[in-house]
Structure 1
C-alpha cells in the first residue's frame, strides 16, 4: 500500500485505512496488537487488554482486517489476532507528512522551537 499523490487509487486506500483507524476503540485494538508483536494475541487476551469484547471486538477486527491492517487466524481452538501492516502504518504517516504538509517549509518540525 504505497501512496503517491498522482494515484487516485492510493488516495482511496489511504482514506480507507484512515477511516478504519477513525475509532478510538479500533485504534486501541491496533495499538495493542502492534505492541504484542508479530505473534499476536488470542481474541480473549486482546479483549482483556483493550476492554473491547464480544461482538464489538469482532466488528472492529473485521473493519481493521478489511483495511489490511490486521489478520485473524485459527490456531487450534484459539483465534489469534495480529497486526500485519507495520509498513502500511508507516506509509500512512509518510502520506500525511508528504501530502498534507506539502506546503510547509519544514514538515514535522515545530516552527516555534525548531
Structure 2
C-alpha cells in the first residue's frame, strides 16, 4: 500500500494537478471533457494533457473516449483510499501517551 499511496500523492504533487483534480471532484461521476477542464482551470491544452496523463498514471483519474471527446473522471475510490491511508493513524501517539500517563 505504501508504494501505491506514494504514487497517488506524487500525482497530486503540483498546484496545477491539484486544481485539475479538484475540478474533476467538483464535477462528480459525470466527469469533464478536456475542454471543460481547460475552461475551468485556464491551463493551456498541451500542459493540461500532461497533467491529466500524470494523474491517470497515479490512478487518480480515469479517461474514457466518447466520440471525439475524452471524458475525465476522478477515481473517487482511490481518493478515499489515499485519505484513509494518511489518516489511518491519526492521533495514535496522543492515545499512547494518554494511556501511559493514565
TM score, norm. by length of structure 1: 0.76
- Ranges in structure 2 where 5+ consecutive residues have no aligned partner: 96-102
Cα distance in structure 2, aligned partners of 1:22 and 1:69: 12
Computing the radius of gyration from Cα coordinates, the structure with the larger value is 2
- Ranges in structure 1 where 5+ consecutive residues have no aligned partner: 1-9, 106-114
Which of 69, 82, 91 is the aligned partner of 1:92? 82
Higher helix share: 2
Matched length: 96
Question: What does 1:1-114 align with in structure 2 at a 5 Å threshold?
Answer: 10-83=1-74, 85-99=75-89, 101-105=91-95
The offset of 1:99, in angstroms, is 4.0
Moved beyond 3 Å, runs of 4+: 99-102
The offset of 1:30, in angstroms, is 0.7
